[in-house]
């Protein structure tokens, strides 16, 4: 399922209820996490995230981890190359420190970025992202779209309803995969004007976790 949402304010909050790839048991008993998790980048690929440009941070508790992108930006105009208008990133993370007998799911994600689109030139941009555990299809994507004029920080929150949480398979160690794409359409803007959209540079995306005991 894909959702397209035109953002017309600086802050947008999205609620996404999706069909679960691996359905959790009805009304799972959710608990606090048992340990401090660790993160390791297993692989990174794509024009939007050259090697060395992705950074990850875990909190000093089990409630969330963060992913930032130093060079994830799509742009048109000025000295931009044609390929700069669309950027993609595929990231695989190894999540460690999960004790035997517990599992987790991502219950919400806070995204942050910046968009600069010339006015009043019908310029448009979008951010598409999804996540999954390895061996599963990528979770339902969400698409954030921007229309000129725009010169703001943007934020968006994706929430997963309790019945649609997808928990890490117990006794398995899959990678946590994130797939994202940015694009900009210049429309009728002046070719000398630079229009762009970025994500995760000044502030990292926050992936909030929900935990439960394994059966």
- Does residue 29 have a cis bond before it (omega within 30 degrees)? no
- pLDDT per position as a tens digit, 124-163: 888 999 999 998 877 657 667 877 777 888 999 999 899 8
Mean pLDDT of 164-170: 92
pLDDT at 90: 96
Please check the confidence at residue 72 and state whether its pLDDT lies above 90. yes
pLDDT at 167: 94
| Cβ density class 45-58: b for 16+ within 10 Å, e for less | ebbbbeeeebebeb
Q: Cα–Cα distance between 159 and 109 in angstroms, integer? A: 7
More confident residue, 124 or 89: 89
Q: Cα–Cα distance between 201 and 114 in angstroms, integer? A: 9
pLDDT at 21: 30
- pLDDT per position as a tens digit, 12-70: 333 333 333 333 333 344 455 556 788 999 999 999 999 999 999 877 667 899 999 99
- pLDDT per position as a tens digit, 92-106: 999 988 888 899 999
pLDDT at 8: 33
pLDDT at 201: 81
More confident residue, 100 or 72: 72
Please check the confidence at residue 189 and state whether its pLDDT lies above 80. no
Please check the confidence at residue 109 and state whether its pLDDT lies above 80. yes
Mean pLDDT of 181-204: 85
pLDDT at 169: 93
**Single pTM value for the model:** 0.80
pLDDT at 120: 62
CB atoms within 10 A of CB 210: 21
Instruction: Compute the C-alpha angle 137/142/144, nearest 5°.
Output: 150
| Cβ density class 193-203: b for 16+ within 10 Å, e for less | bbbbbbbbbeb
pLDDT at 139: 62
pLDDT at 121: 65
More confident residue, 87 or 32: 87
More confident residue, 147 or 74: 74
């Amino acid at each position: 399922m894909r959702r397209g949402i035109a953002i017309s304010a600086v802050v947008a909050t999205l609620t996404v209820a999706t069909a679960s790839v691996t359905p959790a048991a009805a009304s799972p008993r959710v608990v606090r996490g048992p340990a401090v998790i660790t993160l390791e980048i297993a692989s990174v690929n794509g024009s939007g995230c050259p090697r060395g440009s992705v950074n990850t941070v875990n909190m000093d508790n089990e409630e969330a981890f963060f992913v930032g992108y130093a060079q994830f930006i799509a742009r048109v105009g000025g000295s931009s190359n044609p390929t700069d208008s669309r950027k993609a990133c595929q990231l695989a993370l190894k999540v460690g420190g999960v004790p035997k007998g517990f599992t987790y799911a991502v219950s919400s994600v806070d995204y942050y970025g910046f968009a600069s689109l010339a006015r009043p030139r019908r310029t448009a941009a979008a951010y598409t992202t999804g996540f999954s555990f390895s061996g599963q299809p990528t979770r339902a994507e969400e698409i954030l779209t921007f229309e000129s004029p725009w010169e703001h920080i943007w934020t968006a929150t994706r929430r997963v309803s309790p019945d649609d949480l997808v928990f890490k398979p117990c006794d398995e160690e899959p990678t946590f995969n994130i797939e994202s794409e940015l694009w900009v359409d210049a429309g009728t803007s002046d070719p000398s004007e630079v229009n762009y959209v970025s994500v995760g540079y000044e502030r990292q995306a926050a992936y909030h976790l929900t935990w439960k005991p394994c059966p």
